[in-house]
Amino acid sequence: MRVMLAMSGGVDSSVAGALLLAQGHDVVGVTMRLWGGSSDTGCCSVSDVDDARRVAQQLGLDHHVFNFGDGFTAHVVEPYVAAHATGVTPNPCIECNRHLKFDALLERAAVLGFDAVATGHHARIEQREGRFRLCRGADPDKDQSYVVHMLDQSAMARTLFPVGDITKARVREMALDLGLRTATKPDSQDVCFITSDGGRRAFLGDRIPLRSAAVRDLDGNTVGSVDAVELVTIGQRRGLTLSGAPSRRFVLDVDVPRGEVTVGSAEDLLREREHVEQVVWTSSPSAGDVLVQCSAHGEPQRATIRPGGASIEVVWAEPQRRVAPGQSAVFYSLANDEVLGGGRVRR
């Protein structure tokens, strides 16, 4: 099989290349140049491109760099900024996977005559009953099925996850045995276009006005203020300077147009249901009892999902903390580790 390997410059995609070669595939490495601005974190720095190129040399692979900067700006950066401007909490890594790694790259691979695209994600694709099934990776601590939940049947038919069946510890062992330069490289942790020195405030402040807002309790009393309402998210506790009762208070709601943030207790944050829109199913639409995960490393919670017109209603088995609008809710089967689908939590 002729495989295009997406090489991020990390250890997972490096070992994925070695595994593909061992399986006898014809492999070509590619690195996507996504962000042209400052980057010292995440997976878009100049050093990451250099690491990918050098690992490709070690493995004997041809290596190419694709410039997808315009698409990254249009589908990831601009929506990220727009979301903050309206009080929504975006998930840029998922949108990067959706639009670049599993849309643009698959399209480019097909044009160039490749049979499949491979990445270093810790997830698995199985075939059962004539359908492709997206499943959790073998390493529960490194599982990345949440961030690739948008894959449908067409995408899964042309996608390979070579390291999905092994643990991260084993990945590093293999990299060390092969002498790969990425063997001990730390995992990427942050949004690639947000620098460690300036953070979100500097990035967003260069692109949209950051406005102060009053912080009120549920009775409408003003208990404090924030200097940038666009940086506040549902569930936040830290970074709030509040007067009044000493008990911990959490952000319950963010109203950017009115310049108001509402806070309350942990109990006030609990909800019985959420609504999820723009849902993508991995196989076919589902309903009934499932597990729902609302962050990359969050604890899945039991819920019932029901069709609700343009959205899916998620009814929690037990009340859960409100999920910030814009975050992804991913549905998993109760019977196994299969991803059923997912979408964005609605305001």
Res. 278: pLDDT tops 60: yes
- pLDDT tens per residue across span 88-108: 999 999 999 999 999 999 999
Mean pLDDT, residues 280-296: 95
Give the pLDDT of residue 45: 66
Question: Which pLDDT tens digit goes with each residue over 67-88?
Answer: 999 999 999 999 999 999 999 9
Asked whether residue 190 is assigned to any structural domain, the reply reads no
Within this chain, do residues 276 and 245 fall inside the same structural domain, yes or no? no
Same-domain check for residues 249 and 303: no
Do 77 and 162 lie in a common domain? Answer: yes
Average pLDDT of span 246-258:
90
**Higher pLDDT among residues 338 and 41, named by residue:** 338
User: What average pLDDT does the segment 118-127 reach?
Assistant: 97
pLDDT score recorded for residue 271: 97
pLDDT of 239: 77
pLDDT at 221: 92
318 and 284: one domain? yes
Check 43, 44, 93, 192 and give the catalytic one: 192
Question: Is residue 244's pLDDT more than 80?
Answer: no
- In this structure, are 172 and 76 located in the same domain? yes
Asked whether residue 187 is assigned to any structural domain, the reply reads: no
pLDDT at 205: 94
Among candidate residues 178, 210, 230, the one where a domain is terminated: 178
Distance, CA of 62 to CA of 46 (rounded, Å): 19
Statement to judge: residues 205 and 92 lie in one domain = no
Residue 189 belongs to some domain of the structure:
no
Q: Please give the average per-residue pLDDT across 332-346, as a whole number.
A: 96
Percentage of the chain surpassing pLDDT 70? 96
Question: Worst-scoring range by mean pLDDT, 122-131, 303-312, 334-343?
Answer: 303-312
The domain spanning residue 85 has which CATH number? 3.40.50.620
SS (H, E, C) 147-210: HHCCCCHHHHCCEECCCCCCCHHHHHHHHHHHCCCCCCCCCCCCCCCCCCCCHHHHHHHCCCCC
Is-catalytic flag, 294? Answer: no
Catalytic position from the list 93, 96, 135, 294? 96
Question: What is the domain-level CATH number for residue 305?
Answer: 2.40.30.10
The predicted pLDDT at position 242 comes to 82
Chain mean pLDDT for the chain: 93
In a domain, 36, yes or no: yes
- Taking each helix axis from N to C end, the angle separating 11-22 and 46-59, rounded to the nearest 10 degrees, works out to 20
Report the pLDDT value the prediction gives residue 247, as an integer from 0 to 100. 77
Residues 170 and 258 in one domain: no
Q: Which of 199, 189, 197, 196 is nearest to 43 (CA)?
A: 189
Residue 186 lies in a domain: no
Tell me what percent of the residues of the chain surpass a pLDDT of 90: 85
Last residue of a domain, which of 116, 149, 178?
178
Helix residue ranges, H only, the chain:
11-22, 46-59, 69-72, 78-85, 92-96, 105-111, 153-156, 168-178, 199-205
Higher pLDDT, 148 or 199: 148
pLDDT-based confidence at residue 41 (cuts at 50, 70, 90): low
CB 25 within 8 A of CB 1: yes
Q: Which residues of 236-267 are buried (b: 16+ CB within 10 A; e: fewer)?
A: beeebebeeeeeebbbbbbebeeebbbbbeee
Q: Are residues 95 and 47 in the same domain?
A: yes
Pair 40, 135 in one domain: yes
How many C-beta neighbours within 10 Å does residue 1 have?
13
Asked if residues 312 and 343 have their Cβ atoms less than 8 Å apart, the reply is: yes
Assigned domain for 194 exists: no
Sheet arrangement for strand 213-216 = 241-242, 222-226, 213-216, 260-264, 250-255
Residue 178 has pLDDT above 70, yes or no: yes
- pLDDT band for 302, please (50, 70, 90 cuts): very high
Q: Are residues 240 and 276 in the same domain?
A: no
Q: What is the pLDDT of residues 214-242, one digit of tens each?
A: 999 999 999 999 999 999 999 998 878 78
Q: Catalytic residue at 96?
A: yes
Number of domains in the chain: 3
- Please indicate whether residue 43 or residue 236 has the higher confidence score (pLDDT): 236
Residues 250 and 282 in one domain: no
At 37, the pLDDT band (50, 70, 90 cuts) reads low
How far apart are alpha carbons 5 and 14 in whole angstroms?
9
159 and 62 together in one domain: yes
CATH number at residue 230: 2.30.30.280
Q: Check whether 268 has a pLDDT greater than 60.
A: yes
183 in a structural domain = no
| pLDDT grade for 44, boundaries at 50, 70 and 90 | low
- Rounded Cα distance, 4 and 22, in Å: 15
What is the model's pLDDT at position 248?
87
The three-state secondary structure class of 22 is helix
Q: The domain containing residue 155 runs over which residues?
A: 2-178
For residue 185, tell me if it sits in a domain.
no
Q: How far apart are CA 74 and CA 92, in angstroms?
A: 12
What's the start-to-end Cα distance of the chain, in Å? 44
